[in-house]
């Protein structure tokens, strides 16, 4: 048997991992959308806020690292134009270290839980937060320790709710869920149809919960393009799916007592064209009535009919007894006398 060869791609990845250049890719802050918020790892806190009737969208998370040329304490909360920024999404995607991956995932989940789709939030980097663990993960070519977590945010207006009957037409449409209403539906399936032209759908923040009975699928006439299921607190964050067909559908299947933690996505038409999103009322799975089969093979609806028949029979019997007592002759004093000799 020939020895299994190692591909050149894997070798490049391993070399890149050792150097730290690709594992946590350096980014240009000016190229990112949204406003940047710096949270210092040295016992810092940061408030992020949107105007009334708007919600926080978190498009990216980064680590800020002081430039080696600055010759200062890596953990210093000072900020310089020469600082470098490294994308946490790339760190999470490319790292092969299990502990690093868990730390990055925990941070992403904490930031989204605190801020995503809310009007305002406060993030802290103290010992009790998952964010605190990032300060010990070196990044970049020099394997330098980061000084800040950088959160970019945008303020957007929500427009349409999954599992409710509504239609919205715009250049970009935001779709979310109402967890309180969905919790009353039980097992159900919800559908939205997108039409009007080719479009991009971005999973801004999708957390389907711990059950694989809850699933999200995106597809057109050619088949399913993307499928996600709940389980192990998986976060589907800023995942982009390109839909080339002029019409496609989004399906959400919710298992009994397994409402998703969060579903928030954005649909955008290509080249700023408008798209129409139409969501429908959910299809709710109806409970199957309990029936009992007789020895002859017949099916008898037992419980309700038997109970009602018993009540009717008891009522008739009670009425007959009462009427019988009323018709019986009542003895008089004269009838009760004993005749004399």
The pLDDT, as a whole number, for residue 199 is 94
* Residue 210 burial (C-beta neighbours within 10 Å; 0-12, 13-18, 19+): middle
pLDDT tens for each residue of 156-165 = 998 899 989 9
What is the predicted pLDDT for the residue at 338? Answer: 39
Residue 144 above 90 pLDDT?
no
Among 35-39, 266-270, 297-301, where is mean pLDDT lowest? 297-301
pLDDT of res. 14: 35
Q: Is the pLDDT of residue 298 over 70?
A: no
Model confidence pLDDT, tens digit, residues 205-262 = 999 988 888 899 999 988 878 998 887 667 889 999 999 999 999 999 998 888 898 9
Domains and CATH numbers, the chain: 15-156 (no CATH), 160-281 (2.60.120.290)
Q: Looking at residue 33, what is its pLDDT? A: 86
Q: What is the mean pLDDT of residues 145-154?
A: 95
Supply the mean pLDDT for the chain.
79
Q: Which pLDDT does position 189 carry in this prediction?
A: 92
Whether 26 shows a pLDDT value over 50: the answer reads: yes
Say what the pLDDT of residue 339 is. 45
pTM of structure: 0.73
Residues 6 or more apart whose Cβ sits within 8 Å of residue 80: 66, 67, 70
pLDDT above 70 as % of the chain: 75
Percentage of the chain lying above the pLDDT 90 cut: 44
Angle at 23 between CA 18 and CA 27, to 5 degrees: 130
16 pLDDT more than 70: no
Report the pLDDT value the prediction gives residue 212, as an integer from 0 to 100: 83
Express each pLDDT in 52-67 by its tens digit: 999 999 999 999 999 8
Q: How confident is the model at residue 11 (pLDDT cuts 50, 70, 90)?
A: very low
Instruction: Give the pLDDT band of residue 191 (cuts 50, 70, 90).
Output: very high
Per-residue model confidence (pLDDT) at position 301: 38
16 vs 309: which has the higher pLDDT = 309
How crowded is residue 296: how many other Cβ atoms within 10 Å of its Cβ?
Answer: 5
Residue 266 has pLDDT above 90, yes or no: yes
Q: Determine the pLDDT at residue 5.
A: 40
The alpha carbon torsion through 94, 99, 104, 109 (nearest 10 deg) reads 130
Confidence at 317, pLDDT banded by 50, 70, 90: low
Over 70: is that where the pLDDT of 40 sits? yes
Mean of pLDDT values over 89-108: 88
Q: What is the mean pLDDT of residues 318-336?
A: 51
Determine phi and psi for 179, rounding to 5 degrees: -60, -35
């Amino acid at each position: 048997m020939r020895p299994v060869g190692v591909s050149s791609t894997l070798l490049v990845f391993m070399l890149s991992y050792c150097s730290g250049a690709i594992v946590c890719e350096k980014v240009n802050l000016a190229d990112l959308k949204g406003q940047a918020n710096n949270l210092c790892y040295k016992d810092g806190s940061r408030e992020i806020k949107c105007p009334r009737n708007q919600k926080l969208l978190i498009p990216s998370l980064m680590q800020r690292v002081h430039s080696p040329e600055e010759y200062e304490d890596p953990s210093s909360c000072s900020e310089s134009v020469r600082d470098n920024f490294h994308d946490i999404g790339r760190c999470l995607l490319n790292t092969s270290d299990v502990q690093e991956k868990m730390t990055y995932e925990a941070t992403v989940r904490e930031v989204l839980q605190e801020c995503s789709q809310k009007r305002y939030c406060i993030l802290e980097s103290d010992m009790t937060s998952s964010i605190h663990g990032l300060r010990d993960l070196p990044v970049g070519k020099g394997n330098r320790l980061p000084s800040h977590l950088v959160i970019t945010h945008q303020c957007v207006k929500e427009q349409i709710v999954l599992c409710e009957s509504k239609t919205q037409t715009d250049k970009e449409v935001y779709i979310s869920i109402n967890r309180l209403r969905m919790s009353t539906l039980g097992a159900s399936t919800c559908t939205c149809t997108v039409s009007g032209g080719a479009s991009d759908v971005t999973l801004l923040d999708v957390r389907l919960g711990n059950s694989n009975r809850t699933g999200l699928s995106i597809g057109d006439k050619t088949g399913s393009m993307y499928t996600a299921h709940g389980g192990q607190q998986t976060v589907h964050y800023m995942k982009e799916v390109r839909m080339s067909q002029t019409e496609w559908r989004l399906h959400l299947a919710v298992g009994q007592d397994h409402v998703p933690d969060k579903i928030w996505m954005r649909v955008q038409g290509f080249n700023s064209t408008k798209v129409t999103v139409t969501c429908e009322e959910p299809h709710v799975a109806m409970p199957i009535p309990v029936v009992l089969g007789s020895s002859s093979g017949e099916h008898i609806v037992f419980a309700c009919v038997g109970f009602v028949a018993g009540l009717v029979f008891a009522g008739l019997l009670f009425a007959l007894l009462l009427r019988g007592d009323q018709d019986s002759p009542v003895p008089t004093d004269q009838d009760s006398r004993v005749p004399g000799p």
